[in-house]
Chain A
Amino acid sequence: MINKFRIRRCMFLMIALLWASPSIASTDIAIEHAWTPQGPMTMTMHAGYFMLTNHTADTLELISVSSDHYGQIEIHKADMVDGLSSMRKLNKLAVLSHEKVVFSPGGLHLMMRDPLKRLQLGDTFIVRLEFESDIIKEFTMHVAQRHMQPATSHHGHP
């Protein structure tokens, strides 16, 4: 009797844990056209661009971005107010259900600081997006010429 009770309690706990853990699969977050422009070697701050689509039924909050190739990555937005150009750091970014957010030149972008090695045209590296509720999405970013964006989609590595 005690064993049955323990087994039921254990099953209940397991179900509760499963319910509480993130149910969003990595494929529910799509990343396309992830690229960083090849730039002058003197630059120690690079911009990263991509398209992010939230295919889930919930709003996702992007709270952190990282990569083994950069010391620090921040989410930035280029603002143009009264003809003045400036950068604004975003501490988080909400992506609504089924919304597509475009990181593009002159707008929303990743500000990738302190590259650990010089990247050449055609090089790739992994970028890691961390959303609230411990949801992680990794994808490959390509180094491309500024006027050329990779034509193919680059989905992540779950």
Chain B
Amino acid sequence: MRALILALTLCAMSVQSLAKSQAEEDGHVTLKTPYTVGDFILEDHNGNLFDQDDLKNSWSMIFVGFTSCPDVCPTTLSNLEAVRADMGLRLRPDSIPRILFLAVDPARDKPVLKEYLGYFHPQYLGITGSHKQLGRLVKSLKAFYRLDKKTDDDVNYDVLHTAFVSIINPQGEIVAKISPPFHPHRTAEYLTLLIRQVSFDD
């Protein structure tokens, strides 16, 4: 009997270890010490104020991007929707993280944000605001962005930005980060385990 328990324990440890190494390989990082997002005041794409308290009561995935981005941002938004679809087979609908698109190029983003996100999914929520307030949330996320304008009147500029997605729990704490390429099945598997409170770091 003892041998059986030992074998089962070793087997469970081995599965957990494999899952952890797969998560690391996929660029998924569970934070050992979750931390609360600091204060900020932004606006969602419907014109409502959006602050740190609006991050509570549901799981969220926040992605830093801009609407003029032709390749990386639309690819990420589509991949995240594929992840959410996969999670729909594993979790109750109210446990599936919503997508928050932090639009960091407000001059170009704000007028089109609602229509842009509506194309990907009607429930995606865009948030934007002044660079000062964007900076506060970006700093909390330990993310980065920079408008890469060549001249003051440059209208076709690129925006450098971090590509990871922050995972926020219903207490408004950042608990994990996931990075491209966001393999739908494996990312959904990782997030499902995370949401079910199975920590690979325990």
> A and B: partners?
yes
Using a CB–CB distance below 8 Å, which chain A residues touch chain B?
37, 39-47, 76, 78, 80, 83-87, 105-106, 109, 111-113, 146-147
B114 — nearest CB in chain A belongs to which residue?
A42
How distant is B18 from chain A, measured CB to nearest CB, in Å?
25
Interface centre among A39, A42, A87 (most CB of B within 10 A): A42
Instruction: List 9 contacting pairs A-B, 8 Å CB cutoff, sorted by A.
Output: A41-B115, A45-B69, A47-B74, A83-B179, A84-B161, A85-B72, A86-B148, A105-B75, A109-B71
Using a CB–CB distance below 8 Å, which chain B residues touch chain A?
67-72, 74-75, 78, 82, 112, 115-116, 118-120, 144, 148, 156, 158, 160-164, 179-181
Besides the known contacts A40-B115, A40-B118, 10 further A-B residue pairs in the complex with CB atoms under 8 A apart: A39-B74, A40-B120, A42-B115, A83-B162, A84-B162, A84-B163, A106-B71, A111-B70, A111-B71, A113-B156
Contact B160–A86 (Cβ < 8 Å)? yes
A39 — nearest CB in chain B belongs to which residue?
B74
Contact A80–B163 (Cβ < 8 Å)? yes
Q: In the bound complex, what is the Cα–Cα distance between A106 and B77 (angstroms)?
A: 12
How distant is B17 from chain A, measured CB to nearest CB, in Å?
25
Contact A106–B75 (Cβ < 8 Å)? yes
Q: A42-B67, A106-B181, A147-B78 are in contact. Are A85 and B112 (CB under 8 A)?
A: no
Q: A40-B116, A42-B115 are in contact. Are A86 and B78 (CB under 8 A)?
A: no
Contact B70–A85 (Cβ < 8 Å)? no
Question: Contact check: which of A40, A44, A76 meets B71 at CB < 8 Å?
Answer: A76
How distant is B63 from chain A, measured CB to nearest CB, in Å?
11
Question: Contact check: which of A39, A85, A147 meets B82 at CB < 8 Å?
Answer: A147
Contact B160–A84 (Cβ < 8 Å)? yes
Q: In the bound complex, what is the Cα–Cα distance between A37 and B116 (angstroms)?
A: 14
Contact A46–B70 (Cβ < 8 Å)? yes
How distant is B131 from chain A, measured CB to nearest CB, in Å?
18
A145 — nearest CB in chain B belongs to which residue?
B78
